[in-house]
Structure 1
């Protein structure tokens, strides 16, 4: 699904064409907790950070409303959405928390974009021999200034014990991303998402293709966090967040923005990277994940 946004509000006025491309990835924790207060906090973070293209995971939708569309309307952004083909596992979790609407809710990935979307495509990811959690990747071609930007967002299996499943998913995911290469025509492709995996894991090494031979010969994706302050561990799953602390798992960097190799001219290379949504907004934690924000050279 894609939508045409209303006229942009004052905080979404046009950016200079030589401004960096601001990319973001964020898992917004579906409809758990006080979701109505949390979505206002999510909106406040997006308004403050002004990303150009955002990959969102754990986006909810019911029969009347879609979180991504709700955000897009308020931010003046174009929207693409891909529901999970197997949402029952998530509905059951929410039902155990007493939500009477759990049985009709959808779960999926979404993209918000300052600029129009030229195309949208969805890839169903394999279950890798485990329970099918209905994981997908959503790919759009953004009509960015100067040239189109291929942008993909995804959400891989979550169990710490399912590295092999995530490896199987990456073997399908990387060719899906790599096919968007068009040197001199497109920006280098961007892959974002909640990978539920550390950068040094087998699945991320395979995905990047420069420490381990990747699924597509000659295709490399660079972890944008390699351009961050070396003193910052980049935890996006952080026990400072009370929603994380109660799970009793260690801090981790599991949300990633990977970018294709930039040409010598530098278009699409990483200028800056940082975490955002690392503190509550007016006392409300927007999600159980922090977000990653990356500025790319135009």
Structure 2
């Protein structure tokens, strides 16, 4: 099963051209389940639903309950008679989403901009998949806020992880590196996990040695900052494999980290992980990492 996580940079930059580049990358990857952050919607238009329609996937969409601060940042705010632009998370899936829940993440008033986590229970043929995608606050000084947000996220995972052999899959833009205090709360291997119970393992541990890891890098023209800035702030975490190896990580890599017909799809690269479906062969033809 191929899993992707990707922050799509909302309505910033050349967003109309970028959405075509996003589609091209996802079409080539042929994912089974995708976690998306910074997805836009305005009136009858919805980027996640459009992508799902083009790719033949199901879509679960969760708009932010507090989009006001985001709307202040874009260059084309809604004018008289125009539809306001929403932002949110979404899950695209090859199989139906039979249950979903949106959790507003905690933040102090000066940082509260509607960041949320989306849970989607995906009904794959052999088992249900508890799938999560999230977008944590981005302020560099806000590690304590992100730790509280991870705590709320892990509690959401704990409420929905039972009832299936397939382990929970947690994706998203955490705005923090793999060695940060925030991410350590997921794994529990370098400290106490946010809540007792099964830990979540970083899929990147299965990447090829020396594989480029940065999902946020100054090589991307949309990224501002010092020339050498580079970090892996987007993550895929998976719970312990099921009894037949369900959910075991077979490989992981970046994607979408270059231009498509001259247009970079987003200011973030995507992450792609292939997870074993129990006793099934590791890959389907033509989809090797």
TM over 0.5: yes
- Structure 2 SS opposite 1:43: helix
Contact 1:130/1:165, CA 8 A, preserved across alignment:
no
| Partner residue in 2 for 1:141 | 121
| Partner residue in 2 for 1:61 | 41
Contact 2:117/2:133, CA 8 A, preserved across alignment:
yes
- Please give the alpha-carbon distance, in whole angstroms, between the structure 1 residues aligned to 2:220 and 2:83: 28
**198, 202, 205: which one aligns with 1:226:** 205
| Partner residue in 1 for 2:4 | 24
- Please give the alpha-carbon distance, in whole angstroms, between the structure 1 residues aligned to 2:246 and 2:44: 41
**32, 44, 47: which one aligns with 2:24:** 44
| Partner residue in 1 for 2:98 | 118
Residues 40-64 of structure 1, C-alpha deviation per residue, up to 9 Å, x if partnerless? Answer: 0011011000000000000000012
**132, 137, 150: which one aligns with 1:157:** 137
1:220 CA displacement: 0.3
Matched, 1:247 2:229: no
1:175 CA displacement: 1.3
Q: Give the total of aligned pairs.
A: 274
Structure 2 gaps of 5+ residues are 278-289
| Partner residue in 2 for 1:297 | 276
- Please give the alpha-carbon distance, in whole angstroms, between the structure 2 residues aligned to 1:100 and 1:143: 37
Aligned CA RMSD, in angstroms, stands at 1.6
- Structure 2 SS opposite 1:242: coil
Matched, 1:278 2:257: yes
| Partner residue in 2 for 1:7 | none
1:279 CA displacement: 1.0
**147, 161, 165: which one aligns with 1:181:** 161
| Partner residue in 2 for 1:214 | 193
- Structure 2 SS opposite 1:241: coil
- Please give the alpha-carbon distance, in whole angstroms, between the structure 1 residues aligned to 2:12 and 2:110: 25
- Structure 2 SS opposite 1:271: strand
Contact 1:150/1:186, CA 8 A, preserved across alignment:
no
| Alignment TM-score, normalising by the size of structure 1 | 0.88
Contact 1:209/1:219, CA 8 A, preserved across alignment:
no
1:144 CA displacement: 1.0
1:219 CA displacement: 2.1
| Partner residue in 1 for 2:55 | 75
- Please give the alpha-carbon distance, in whole angstroms, between the structure 2 residues aligned to 1:114 and 1:271: 20
Residues 77-108 of structure 1, C-alpha deviation per residue, up to 9 Å, x if partnerless? Answer: 110111111111111110xx344559811010
- Please give the alpha-carbon distance, in whole angstroms, between the structure 2 residues aligned to 1:103 and 1:130: 26
Matched, 1:108 2:88: yes
**172, 176, 179: which one aligns with 1:200:** 179
1:229 CA displacement: 1.6
Contact 2:10/2:87, CA 8 A, preserved across alignment:
yes
Matched, 1:191 2:184: no
